[in-house]
Chain A
Amino acid sequence: MSVRVYIPNDSGALSMGAEAVAGAVASEARRRHADVAIVRNGSRGLYWLEPMVEVATASGRVAYGPVAPADVGSLFEAGFLTGGKHRLALGATDEIPYLKRQERLTFQRVGVIDPLSLDDYLEHGGYRGLERALSLAGAQVVEEVTASGLRGRGGAGFPAGIKWKTTLQTEAKSKYVVCNADEGDSGTFADRMIMEGDPLVLIEGMTIAGIVVGASQGYIYLRSEYPHALRTLNAAIAAATARGYLGENVRGSGKRFEVEVRVGAGAYICGEETAMLESLEGRRGMVRYKPPVPAVAGLFGAPTVVNNVITLASVPLIIEKGGSFYKDFGMGRSRGTSPFQLAGNLKHPGLVEKAFGVTLGELVHEYGGGTASGRPVRAVQVGGPLGAYFPASMLEVAMDYEAVAARGGILGHGGIVVFDDSVDLARMARYAMEFCALESCGKCTPCRIGSTRGIELIDHIIGNRDRAANTALLRELCDTLTNASLCALGGLTPLPVMSALKHFPQDFGLAAERV
């Protein structure tokens, strides 16, 4: 029997040369007449070890990494097909502490299975959620989602059960399920890992949503920066359709549900749900006024469930095991797990799925291993480009929607970007305003005009031109942005700016006591 060798097809692994490694393993196996079956899996999320190659041995999967094409000959020489010793050997994959200490629910299959094999998906528990959902009334399924405490993982943290219930109860001829896969927050890549590593779990989650609320069409709005995810999703949709998991009559239920991927065009604002709907309708990605909320009048005016990739991908397990199973993870009003994405200047960047409540310090130091540069951690931005900068002295904050908010930040989509002591926070604050100016849809004045005025004010402060007065003016401007913007882009840009000013006044040339 051939030995299964897993080489990730995840774009992060590919960016570190996984394709060349796969080629080298294939040709070396041919040369040695070794019977090897290469499986292109997703990434386990241990990115400092990518490309990480795994071998299925008699005693389980063992890992080697980071593997370069030049290492392949010596891996065969060392007998890696039977788990042989090698300087790149990492031992049993499941025993690697970074993975072992995680609580992988949504990511249980990512990096484990062949993402395009429906059989592999089924063998690893796939489609059990849909089977159960089909045996229940729509309201019962919504009840499970509500009971699980699942909140939107895209950033806003709105309870998913409430959205579903609203759409279910709104009478309409047609309804839609839209998956927000416009993962634009810098420092985040969890959606991408799901779509590349276990696309069927997202499709299953969307199918459950569609059948429950009475929608027959689903759209995945995917950012254009993810070409690999596009290919994987389209192949997975075709596989699910071929086996009757999507289509006119889903699993013989008499219900129709189909999924189509639509690709964005590089506008960050289209991650805002109403701008995304505008874009799907073929228009500029301009934010809509709410109400009506999309659950009542969304895509093409029809009731629409809009959820992030991780939210939808968490649904199958919740329905399979019940809402209370999921609810047992987490703390306070943040139930379940969240995929935290460790990025920036870290020794061990990657994906850590943990129950809410893990501290920022544990993630940065125990998982992340401190900075890659070896210099002290100075600032950590949590929650993407609209998230606050925390100083190294505040890392005890628990990763929980409310706890982070109480410290003046947002959890957002769970991205964590670490900076060492070479960072200039005044420059990062300026960048936040630049980003807002660049990505503003232009509909509301505070965001459209305020972002550019913000850049100018920060330039004046840095350049020591009437510093005290301009700092006061910057505060007022941020207050206007916070309170008068139409959506989170203008509304939250003050978070990185004001947190930088508050915790790092010296970078702006200000004395701490004057702030």
Chain B
Amino acid sequence: MASDHDWDRATVERIATSLKATPGALMPILRQVQDELGWVPPDSIALIAGILNLSRAEVHGVASFYHDFRHHPPGRCVIQVCRAESCQAMGADGLADHIRQRLGIDFGETTRDRSFTLEPVYCLGNCACSPAVVVAGELAGRVTPDRFNRLIAKFDGSRR
């Protein structure tokens, strides 16, 4: 898919140039690239490395270490499901099964129409309102399968 390889070079260049003098600049740069583009394009590694005067291996090493940094563009709506203990105690495994079935994808995958990306997360700090899910950046607590269906309805568009 062509869209998997297109990325906004000018944005990455602007971010890396503007932050390069910051102490420990690589993390803030990768963070902002991810926040603005939704992913850290593997092809942008060389560009960032050049601006910071680091080797490509160093930048790749950091970009690949942290779970947040995506190496593929996500779908329009990213869904994160907490899989940690507190949420497990409140039925997160069953909820995860429902979500996988509802979206027709597994964790780490994006739907074919690019509507949804499903990601696991290990604690959202909302353990007193378990199970917790993030839908397009919005945290939701005490999520049931029904509530989940309502939460994603507006992103579901033409799918169903």
Residues of A within 8 A of B (CB): 11-12, 14-16, 45, 47-48, 50, 183-189, 191-192, 223-227, 262-268, 279-285, 300, 341-345, 349-351, 372, 381, 385, 415, 417-420, 423, 428, 431, 435, 438-439, 441
Contacts and interface: CB of A to CB of B under 8 A. Distances in A.
Contacts of A349: 127-130
Main secondary structure of the interface of A (DSSP, over half): mixed
7 contacts: A12-B141, A45-B128, A264-B68, A282-B26, A349-B129, A428-B85, A435-B84
B121 interface: yes
Contact of B85 (A186, A225, A420): A186
Contact of A265 (B31, B85, B88): B31
A278 to B, nearest CB: 9
A267 B127 CA distance: 18
A504 to B, nearest CB: 15
A317 B27 CA distance: 34
A333 to B, nearest CB: 28
A225 B142 contact: no
Contacts of B30: 265
B129 A262 contact: no
A285 B66 contact: yes
Contact of B127 (A282, A284, A343, A372): A343
Given A265-B67, A282-B26, A16 B142 contact: yes
Interface string B131-145: 010000101111000
Interface of B: 23-28, 30-31, 34, 58, 61-62, 65-69, 84-90, 121-130, 132, 137, 139-142
A350 B132 CA distance: 15
B125 A267 contact: no
Given A189-B125, A225-B125, A279-B27, 16 more contacts: A187-B86, A188-B127, A223-B125, A265-B31, A265-B34, A265-B67, A266-B66, A266-B67, A267-B65, A281-B23, A341-B127, A343-B89, A349-B128, A349-B130, A350-B128, A415-B127
Contact of B86 (A186, A227, A282, A420): A186
Contact of B24 (A16, A282, A350, A381): A282
A189 B126 contact: yes
Contact of A431 (B58, B65, B88, B123): B88
B125 A16 contact: no
A385 B88 CA distance: 12
Nearest to B120: A438
Contacts of A431: 85, 88
A281 B23 CA distance: 7
B127 A186 contact: yes
Nearest to B23: A300
B122 A284 contact: no
Contacts, number: 148
A344 B66 contact: no
Contacts of A15: 126, 129, 132, 139-141
Contacts of B88: 428, 431
A13 to B, nearest CB: 9
Residue among A48, A186, A372, A419 facing the most chain B CB atoms (10 A cut-off): A186
A344 B127 contact: yes
Given A265-B27, A265-B69, A225 B123 contact: yes
Contacts of B90: 344-345, 372
Nearest to B64: A284
B147 to A, nearest CB: 11
B65 A187 contact: no
Contact of B130 (A188, A344, A420): A344
Contact of B84 (A14, A187, A192): A187
B95 to A, nearest CB: 14
B126 A283 contact: no
Contacts of A281: 23-24
Nearest to B65: A284
A350 B129 CA distance: 9
Contacts of A184: 122-123
The 5 A-B pairs at the shortest CB distance, nearest first, are namely A186-B84, A265-B66, A343-B127, A47-B128, A15-B141
A282 B89 contact: no
A11 B26 CA distance: 29
Contacts of A345: 89-90
B81 to A, nearest CB: 13
Contact of A268 (B28, B62, B69, B122): B122
Given A265-B30, A283-B62, A186 B129 contact: no
Contact of A188 (B23, B125, B141): B125
Nearest to B141: A15
Contacts of B65: 267, 284-285, 441
A343 B27 contact: no
A50 B68 CA distance: 29
Contacts of B137: 227
